[in-house]
Each structure stands twice: as structure tokens, then as C-alpha cells.
Structure 1
Amino acid sequence: MAGRRRGATWSAFEVRGFRMLWLAGLLSVAGDQLARVALSILVFQRTGSAALSAATYALSMLPALVSGALLSWLADRFPRRRVLVVCDVVRAALVALMAVPAVPLPLLAALLVLVQLAEAPFSAAQGAVLPELLGARYEAGQAVQQVTTQLCLVLGFAVAAFVVTGVGAHAALAIDAATFAVSALLIRAGLGRHPPPAAEPDVVVATWWRRSWRRVAAGAVVVGKDRTLGTLVWLGWLALFTVVPEGLAVPFAHQVGAGGGWIGVLLAAEPAGAVAGALLLRLVARPVRVRALGVLAVGTAAPLAAYWTQPDLGTALALLFVSGLCSAYQVTAGATFVQLSPPPVRGRALGFARTGMIAGQGLGVVAGGLLAQLAGPATAIAWAGTAGALVALAAAAAWSRRRPDAVSAALPAEA
């Protein structure tokens, strides 16, 4: 049984379009880790401020508040390959500008915001294409993406600090720009057009602004009317608490007296746990995975509450690994959400969910940075873990009322 399940997990690679999207995504993830570490270290070295370092990290998330609302509908209006390629080309050009050494920090921050504005339509288009490509293999494909992306995060974070130290922050940004360019080429060559589903006719007298918000609101309305989808979104948005250690990795390493190289190890600990958790979850039946969503959500936040003890580096790494191990529930939660969303508004519904998650993570990192400035990084992480565990308990109770076994039975059969 376990052997058949492992074979089904990797069967997504039989689909050429998936292989291209997968490889393009890994390139972009690897480059992004270089850019994030480079900017965080650069700001902390120049300012010595935990709040500003966290705020810089959060700039890779907060623009989703605007881009998701205004731009994710593009995935349901234009051919999805075109959306993916254009977003990558735009991001490659902007990051290339960031790599110019003469660019001051305020302009770097502004360019980073523009880069992230392109994330919402890219993610919405990617999320809408995958179910079409994979069909019954969709959750297997999601698991593959989660495992390999987290592995890329582990390796990327582990070496990013050394790379930034060796080649410099601006060279690291140039590498990031190159990954977006290669991603665009892969998607253009390896993915079909994937035209969007027939859209509802526009009202001629409506302004572009109203039309944009109406399209996005359609996804929010779908989620709001379906309690199961709403609870799945709630479970996903718990990441706003558990992302805080990531945003505070640089000041926490400074607090415990760790060298610069340990910043990457701190950032890699949670993704390493997520890889292990995703592999373990694929060994059990889907009804068990769906039923365990609430328990694992609590297990993701609870270890961070142990930061009240002001842990040393080794203990912190262990806590982050356990948190990541439980966070693998996000694979099943995300796949279940997509498969239950109506296809005509799937791109917008997914854009709404991802927008809230990314924006929530950005706000969580900013709040954690401000608290760290006042009470220290470890205390800020402890507050995030305690609050996250309490909210996760409420989400777990709500999920148990959604009858997880019935939800699992309503999903398409696994490949």
C-alpha cells in the first residue's frame, strides 16, 4: 500500500506542463531566498533595528493586500500561460534594477513592492492551471510541489547567508532576476495556452475599478457562502502567526550570539520539518489527512510558545523543526480548498485565499518586528506562538463540525 501511494505521489511528473511549472517554480523560489536574506541582512547591518529588518522581510508579503484584490482576476480573464509569462518578465526586469549597487534602500523597498504586486496574478493563474493539468492527480501534484519547494527552501536558506556574504547582496539580487527570466522561458516553451473559462459579460457603464473588485469579490462570496471553504481558509491563514520566527531570524541569531551562517540554518529548520511532514502524510489515507487538519494546525503554533523560556540556538532549531513538521497540513488543506471550489471562479477564490494568507503573514511579521524591538525577538515569537495556538484551537473545533469524513468523500478519487 505504501509503495503504491508513493508511486501515485510522483505520477504528476508524467504531465509535461506540470514538469515545466514545477521546475520554473523551484528556480524562482531559490532566487527569492537569496533576495530575502540579502535584503534582511543589509537592512539589519545598516540600521541595527529588528523592526526595520522584519518590515523589509514583510514587504515581500504585504503588497498582496492590493495586488490580490486588483490583479488576481487576470487569471480568469486572459490565457493563463500569458499571465504567468508576463508576470515573470516583469519581475525579472524589476529585480534586475534592484541589483544595481547605486540604488538606495528606499528605492529598493519601492521596487520590492512592485515585484510583489505581480505575485497575485501569477499564483492565481498557476493555481487555476494545475487542476486542469493533473485532474485526479491534483493532490499528488500539490504534495510533490510542497515537498520539493520546501526542500528548495531548506537548501536555499541554508546557503543563502554564505552566498550573500561571498558575492554580496546586489549580486544575489541579480541571480534572483535571472531565475525569473528562466522561469518565463520554461513556461512559454512547456505550457499550453490554457484559456480561461467563459467570463460573465461586463456591464459597460461600470468602471474598471468596480469591475476589478467585483471579480475578486466573486471569489470571496464563494468562500463566505460555503462554511467548509471558509474553515479551510481559516486553517490556512493561521500561517500569519507561524511565519514570525522567519521574519525575526536575523535579530534572533544576533540575540543568541550565533554567527551569520546560522541565519540560514534558522530559516531552513521550519521548511525541513515541513518536508518531513509532507512525506509522512503521504503514507496515510486521505480521510485521515483531512480529519487531522485541526490537530496539526494546533501543533504548528504550539511549539513556538516554548520561546517563553528564551531558548538557545539548538533548542530553537528543534522547536522550529517540530512546528514545520505539523505545518505540512497546509498541503491537504490547500488541495481540498481548490478541489471544492467551483471551476468558473476557482482562480478568484484561490486568489482571495492566497491574498489573505500572504497579507496576513506580512502583517504578522511587521507586528512581530515591532514587539521584538520592545521585548526582544524570543519574546515576540513566544507571543505569536501562544496567540496562534489559541486561534488554532478554535479553528480545529470549527473543522470538526464540518464533518471531515464527508468532506473527504466528496473529493475526486485519488490517482
Structure 2
Amino acid sequence: MSVPLVDRTHFTRALSSRPFALLWIGQTLSSMGDGAFFTALAWQVLAITGSSAAMGIVVAAQTLPAIFFMLIGGVAADRLPRRLIMIWSDIGRAIAVLTITVLGWLHLLQLWHLIFLVILFGIADSFFRPAYRSISPELVEKDRLSSANALTGLSKQMNQLLGPIIGATLVAFIGPSGAFGFDGLTFIISVLFLLGVRSSLFTPVSANKEAAVKSVVSPKKGFLFLMENVREGLSYIVGSTWLWSGVLVSAGIGVVVTGALAIAMPKLVSDFYHSGVWLFGLISTALALGSISSIFVIGQLKTIRRRGIVLYGILTCSCLACAAFGIPGPTFIHPFIAVIAALLIGFGTGASQVIWPTLLQELVPLDKLGRVSSVDALGSVCLMPIGFIVIGNLVDLFGPAIIFICSGLIGAVFACSELFVKDVRQLE
């Protein structure tokens, strides 16, 4: 009997599940739209204000809702159908992005419009993320979770590989509104694919659904029910050293390294490298290529011994590569340094997108996975609003180069500290 092509390699085995395949295709297209959106957003804010601090405010406005809604989204992911949560979240994000598109086409777009609409985008994303991160165990067998996470990581990287190229092209020939409109279209396509996801290998606990329905009837009981579920998720995390320490380290790296990449990069390209949007897109593409290479390598491996050591060793190296962005030198060598650094950073990102979610899905019970995923995601972004604003102002004061050097070194210290945690070293 012949073996299906997707089953011949470990990396693609999860695609043999039709529900997961539909989910993956829709999210891959949506990720490319997000890549185009954020490329256009960076240049739109600079065009309106010319300030990195303003870009920090806009990015912070998008991530700020996570502090208030991510935990609620985690409870919803454990108590309500995850597919429906994702559908409505995509609809909400489509409305926000398409509104930006219309305002841009009418030449009415102002900074406060962007801030308000990205807040709405962030609220919808706070519900989408826990549901998306916890739905894979419902769609694929346990031995294919690594494949599912590798493919999920691949789709995320499409927003850095093709998204910036599409975004830069649309910005150059149509304007930022063209890229915003493209992202809105991909959200609609994602909804259509999600509507086709009908079956699952596992079903949520019916008692949890009943409790959720009762909580809607009584707002007071509903609030107590919500708080109890949040407390239960937090208690589980506190009881796992590798889990809570990983969340804290991820938060630290997210503030310093992700903050530098998101806020300081446009000004680094324009002021320090004295280049244009083409180099900005090239760096984003190199980040994606590094991640994709890591995802392919790690996703293809059937087993990885000492996954904690492997993960944080790779992250330490990728953080050090972040510091290389600020290395001074001749103008002609800057693009080469930037591309190599971006490839190394991307490799670390790809490793974390495969190893970490697989650890969560294998070691955390399914009925707690949504809440644990929400706390994990919240830990990664809870400090980002403040961090983005601070980094934006520091870039304006000291320049982008010194910010990248400091951010990379601090991130390396955070990642390396996990290698001294016994529970992390013992993760198989």
C-alpha cells in the first residue's frame, strides 16, 4: 500500500488531517496579509509623524488590550468552541483593517485613527491567539503535534517572507492603503477556510460548556466563574518551574529584542544604514528565511533530546546576533551584517515556535491549555506596551544602533539564565 506524500516526511504529517490542513492554509494566507500590514503601518506612521516614539505608541496600542483581554480569551478557549472564537476574531480584525484602508484612500487617516483601530485589532487578537495556540491537539494526533507546530510556525513566517515584499510593493505602487486592503482580504479568506473546519479528534468537556452558558445568565456568577478559571490556570503555571520561568524569560526577550526589531528597525535602516524600504523588506525576509530553515530542520526531527537546553542555547545565540545590527562599519557592509544577523535571529525564532508550543501541548492538560497559552502569550506581551514606548523614546535620544547593541546583550543574559534552571535542563 502506498504511503501518502504528506506522511513520508515528519514535517508535513499533520497535513493528513483535513481540518488542520484547512486551518493551516487559511492562516498562512492571513499571515502574509499581516506581514504586508505591519510593513505598511511602519511607513504610514513615519509618513504622518516622522517619529519613532509615535510608532512605539501605535504598536503599544495594539498590544495593550492583551493585558486586559488575553486571560479572558484563554478562559473562552477552554470553555467555548475554539473554531468559532477564531472566526469572530478574524471578522473583527478584518473590520478594523478595512476601516484603516478606507480612511487612507479618502486621505482622512490620522494618528489617532490608527491608535483607536489597532486597539480594536488587539482586542480581537487577544481572543484569537489562545484559541489558535490550543486548537492543534483537537485536530491532530499527539505524535503529530511537532509537525503541526512546525507548519504553524512556517505559516507565521510567511508574514515576514512574502508579506513585507507584498507590502513594500503595494506601498511603492499604490500606497499604504493597498497593503491594508490586502490584509483585510486575507482575514476574509481565513474565515472561509475556518468555516470548513467541522471535525476534531477530541471534543471539549460538556460540563465546561454548560458552566459557561450559566455564567452568561448571571453576570455576578459569570465574573466569579471567570476569576476561578483564571486562578486555576495561574496556579497550574506557578506549580511548573520550567513553565513560569519560561514565561518570564520570554517576556524579557520580547521587550528588549522584539521591541528593538519592531520600533528601532525603520530608523536604523533610514538613519544609520542610510537606506530605504528595500533594505527594511530584505531584513524582514532574512528573518523569515532563518526561521523557516530552523522550522524545517527541527520539524523534520522525530525526537529532540534535552529540548530545554537546545531551545535556550539557540535563543542565547540569536539574541547576541541582535546586537550585531548596531556594529559600526563602512556603508557597503551594513546590508551584509544586517542580513546575517537577521538570519540568526530568525533561526532562534523558528526553534522557539516549534519546541515551546510542542512542550505545552504535550505536558499541559487539554482542558487547561487555552488558559496556559493565554498566560504564556500575555507574559510575552504584558511589558511590551511600556517597553515599546520607552524604546521609541530611547531611539530618538541615543539613536537606533546603541539600542540594538544593548537589547541584544540583555536578551542573551535572559535566555542564558534558563540554562541554570534544573527543570529546564531536564526537559526531554
Hey, what does 2:93 align to over in structure 1?
Answer: 91
Hey, what does 1:309 align to over in structure 2?
Answer: 327
Hey, what does 1:42 align to over in structure 2?
Answer: 44
Hey, what does 1:249 align to over in structure 2?
Answer: 265
Rounded Cα–Cα distance in structure 2 between residues aligned with 1:240 and 1:367: 10
Q: Could you list the per-position Cα deviations for residues 26-50 of structure 1 after superposition, in whole angstroms to 9, with x for gaps in the alignment?
A: 1221111222121210111221111
- After superposing the two structures, state which structure 1 stretch, 238-247 or 15-24, moved more: 238-247
* Match among 383, 404, 411 for residue 406 of structure 2: 383
Rounded Cα–Cα distance in structure 1 between residues aligned with 2:187 and 2:316: 35
Q: Which amino acid aligns with 1:315?
A: I
Rounded Cα–Cα distance in structure 2 between residues aligned with 1:150 and 1:157: 11
Query: Against the structure 1 CA distance between its residues 142 and 382, is the aligned structure 2 distance closer, same or farther, given a 3 Å change threshold?
Result: same
Superposed displacement of residue 404, structure 1: 4.0
Rounded Cα–Cα distance in structure 2 between residues aligned with 1:350 and 1:209: 21
Q: Which amino acid aligns with 2:144?
A: R
CA contact (8 A) 1:99 1:173 kept: yes
Query: Against the structure 1 CA distance between its residues 146 and 252, is the aligned structure 2 distance closer, same or farther, given a 3 Å change threshold?
Result: same
Give yes or no for the alignment of 1:184 onto 2:191.
Answer: yes
Give yes or no for the alignment of 1:104 onto 2:78.
Answer: no
Q: Which amino acid aligns with 2:321?
A: P
Give yes or no for the alignment of 1:295 onto 2:313.
Answer: yes
Q: Structure 2 matches for 1:3-402, cutoff 5 A?
A: 7-101=9-103, 102-135=108-141, 136-192=143-199, 196-197=204-205, 198-199=207-208, 201=211, 206=220, 208-237=222-251, 238-243=253-258, 244-255=260-271, 256-284=273-301, 285-310=303-328, 312-330=334-352, 331-398=354-421, 401-402=422-423
Superposed displacement of residue 110, structure 1: 0.5
Q: TM-score, normalised by structure 2?
A: 0.86
CA contact (8 A) 1:69 1:213 kept: no
Rounded Cα–Cα distance in structure 2 between residues aligned with 1:192 and 1:260: 44
Superposed displacement of residue 156, structure 1: 1.1
Query: Against the structure 1 CA distance between its residues 310 and 148, is the aligned structure 2 distance closer, same or farther, given a 3 Å change threshold?
Result: same
Rounded Cα–Cα distance in structure 1 between residues aligned with 2:392 and 2:419: 28
Rounded Cα–Cα distance in structure 1 between residues aligned with 2:183 and 2:296: 28
Q: Where do 5+ consecutive residues of structure 2 fail to align?
A: none
Aligned length: 403
Percent sequence identity is: 22
Hey, what does 1:413 align to over in structure 2?
Answer: none
- After superposing the two structures, state which structure 1 stretch, 11-20 or 121-130, moved more: 121-130
Superposed displacement of residue 283, structure 1: 5.0
Q: Where do 5+ consecutive residues of structure 1 fail to align?
A: 409-415
CA contact (8 A) 1:60 1:112 kept: yes
Superposed displacement of residue 376, structure 1: 0.6
Q: TM-score, normalised by structure 1?
A: 0.89
Superposed displacement of residue 353, structure 1: 0.6
Structure 2 residue matching 1:248: 3-state secondary structure? helix
CA contact (8 A) 1:80 1:196 kept: no
Rounded Cα–Cα distance in structure 1 between residues aligned with 2:23 and 2:348: 26
Q: Could you list the per-position Cα deviations for residues 160-215 of structure 1 after superposition, in whole angstroms to 9, with x for gaps in the alignment?
A: 22211211112221221111111111101233387532328578684544443432
CA contact (8 A) 1:75 1:348 kept: yes
- After superposing the two structures, state which structure 1 stretch, 228-237 or 385-394, moved more: 228-237
Rounded Cα–Cα distance in structure 2 between residues aligned with 1:291 and 1:5: 29
- After superposing the two structures, state which structure 1 stretch, 11-20 or 362-371, moved more: 362-371
